[in-house]
């Protein structure tokens, strides 16, 4: 099968969907009957880009201010994509929301339905495009991949489609997320002035859906001496409506017990995950929640919400809180500090749980979806 996969998202610094595309493409190389060509938004290349497009993070907010920017970019991409007719492609896979027009079998990956549950967490121009195009894209797809059963069930009900149109392909975990000796991560810990297992870590773009303000509130409820010993590190780039965090962040940063790291290179983030006392992941809604899986694979306990797909990922290894319960989160953090037996049990349960997920399995299920879409 000759597959074209839209990899335009790899122009941006890699977050969840970008990592999904990169890891899936690499794993699909092992499928003997799958030959993947990548569309990068401007042309064709079988190779994954080594890095994001220079200046992308600065350019994107500017584009949001230009009327019709989404539509213009979409029109240009479609014109370039139409060259697919010369590529002898059997199937088109769109891994991020709505697909481009294609006159052959199409598979899409529907990661979540955030725009339905939390429309205020999307930039207005992007939300309008989702509302205009997503339903048609879902109808265009012969098979709809989802990262979790939770999203498959939501989408099946919302779009009134039969269950046979959906294939659940759980995500995997990259090899860099693994338990590490202190000596291996010592330089990263020193760079951020922390000790192994004596800090909490949040991972996520600064945007409303990630609910990072709950982590700030809960951490502030810990005794001052505990906050001094166990600071909170937040890793993630600025996102939509970051300004809502400005005052809580200002107060937290002024306290000296919270540090905003920004977007980190993959290896640095993996090392910090392996050294944290726990990952705090209080997101309001996720289609999967890769940081939860990555923390467990690193031997780090996870505190997360019961929302959407997170219990499906963390299973019995998760420490669960409600999305608005700062006191509950504070208590969960306190127990992970004070109860070493509980901390060790969470670590071991997380490592066991993470073993059920792999990118190779994701690729195998995805290749099966391709065959299904082609009538095989």
| CA–CA separation, 131 and 150 (whole Å) | 21
Give 96-149 pLDDT, tens digit per residue: 878 999 989 999 999 999 888 888 767 777 788 887 888 899 999 999 999 999
Domain covering 182-354: architecture: 3-Layer(aba) Sandwich (3.40)
| CA–CA separation, 201 and 96 (whole Å) | 27
Give 337-355 pLDDT, tens digit per residue: 999 999 999 999 999 999 9
Give the per-residue pLDDT at 248: 67
Output 254 or 16, whichever has higher pLDDT: 16
Max mean pLDDT among 47-56, 197-206, 237-246, 253-262 falls in 197-206
Record the tokens describing residue 26, joined without a space: 């690499």
CA torsion sign for 320, 322, 324, 327 is negative
Closest CA to 343 of 333, 355, 354: 333
Give the burial string for 344-366 (b: 16+ CB within 10 Å, else e): eebbebbbebbeebbbeebbbeb
Give the per-residue pLDDT at 124: 79
By mean pLDDT, which of 61-75, 302-316, 325-339 is the weakest?
A: 61-75
Q: What is the mean pLDDT of residues 162-189?
A: 97
pLDDT of residue 183 exceeding 90, the answer is yes
Give the per-residue pLDDT at 59: 47
| CA–CA separation, 92 and 374 (whole Å) | 11
pLDDT of residue 247 exceeding 80, the answer is no
- The 10 Å Cβ neighbour count of residue 93 is 28
Q: Give the CA angle between residues 204, 205, 211 to the nearest 5°.
A: 70
Q: What is the mean pLDDT of residues 168-193?
A: 97
Reduced to 3 states (helix: H, G, I; strand: E, B; else coil), residue 200 is strand
- The 10 Å Cβ neighbour count of residue 32 is 7
pLDDT of residue 182 exceeding 50, the answer is yes
The answer to whether the 2-172+358-373 and 182-354 domains have the same CATH topology is: yes
**Per-residue DSSP letters for 24-86?**
HHHHHTT-TT-EEEEE-SSSEESSPPSSPPTTHHHHHHHHHTSTTHHHHHHHHHHHHHGGGGG
pLDDT of residue 27 exceeding 60, the answer is yes
Q: What is the pTM of this model?
A: 0.90
Task: Show me where the domains of the chain are located.
Answer: 2-172+358-373, 182-354
pLDDT of residue 376 exceeding 80, the answer is no
Give the per-residue pLDDT at 64: 55
Give the per-residue pLDDT at 52: 63
- Burial-class residue 256 by CB neighbours within 10 Å (0-12, 13-18, 19+): exposed
Specify the CATH class of 2-172+358-373 in words: alpha beta
Contacts for 275 with CB less than 8 Å, ≥ 6 apart: 180, 182, 185, 188, 189, 194, 196, 197, 199, 300
| CA–CA separation, 338 and 319 (whole Å) | 15
By mean pLDDT, which of 13-22, 122-131, 320-329 is the weakest?
A: 122-131
Q: Are 57 and 12 in contact (CB under 8 A)?
A: yes
Q: What is the mean pLDDT of residues 201-221?
A: 90
Give 260-292 pLDDT, tens digit per residue: 998 899 999 999 999 999 999 999 999 999 999
Q: What is the mean pLDDT of residues 150-167?
A: 96
DSSP state for residue 13 in the 8-state scheme = P
Closest CA to 188 of 273, 247, 110, 245: 273
pLDDT of residue 55 exceeding 60, the answer is no
Strand extents, DSSP E, the chain: 2-6, 35-39, 44-45, 91-94, 106-109, 143-146, 166-168, 200-203, 232-235, 258-262, 278-281, 302-305, 319-321
Give the per-residue pLDDT at 241: 47
């Amino acid at each position: 099968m000759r597959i074209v996969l839209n990899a335009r998202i790899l122009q941006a610094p890699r977050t969840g969907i970008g990592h999904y595309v990169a890891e899936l493409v690499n794993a699909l190389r092992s499928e003997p009957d799958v030959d993947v060509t990548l569309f990068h938004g401007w042309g064709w290349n079988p190779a994954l880009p080594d890095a994001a497009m220079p200046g992308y993070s600065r350019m994107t907010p500017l584009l949001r201010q230009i009327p019709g920017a989404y539509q213009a970019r979409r029109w240009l991409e479609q014109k370039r994509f139409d060259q697919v007719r010369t590529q002898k492609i059997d199937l088109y896979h769109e891994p991020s929301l709505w697909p481009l027009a294609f006159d052959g079998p199409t598979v899409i990956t529907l990661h979540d339905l955030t725009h339905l549950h939390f429309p205020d967490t999307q930039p207005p121009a992007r939300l309008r495009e989702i509302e205009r195009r997503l339903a048609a894209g879902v109808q265009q797809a012969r098979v709809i991949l989802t990262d979790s059963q939770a999203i498959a069930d939501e989408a099946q009900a919302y779009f009134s489609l039969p269950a046979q149109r959906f294939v659940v392909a759980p995500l995997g975990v990259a090899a860099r997320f693994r338990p590490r000796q202190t000596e291996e991560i010592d330089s990263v810990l020193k760079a951020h002035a922390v000790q192994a297992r004596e800090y909490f870590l949040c991972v996520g773009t600064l945007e409303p859906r990630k609910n990072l303000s709950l982590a700030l509130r809960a951490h502030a409820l810990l005794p001052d001496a505990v906050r001094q010993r166990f600071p909170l590190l937040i890793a993630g780039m600025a996102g939509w409506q970051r300004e809502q965090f400005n005052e809580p962040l200002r107060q937290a940063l002024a306290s000296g017990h919270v540090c905003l790291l920004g977007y980190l290179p993959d290896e640095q983030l993996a090392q910090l995950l392996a050294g944290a006392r726990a990952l705090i992941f209080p997101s309001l809604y996720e289609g999967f929640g890769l940081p939860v899986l990555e923390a467990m694979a690193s031997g780090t306990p996870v505190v997360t919400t019961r929302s959407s797909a997170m219990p499906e990922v963390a299973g019995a290894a998760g420490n669960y809180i409600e999305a608005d319960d700062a006191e509950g989160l504070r208590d969960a953090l306190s127990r992970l500090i004070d109860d070493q037996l509980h901390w060790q049990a969470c670590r071991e349960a997380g490592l066991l749980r993470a073993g059920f997920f792999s990118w190779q399995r994701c690729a195998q299920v995805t290749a099966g979806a391709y065959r299904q879409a082609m009538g095989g």
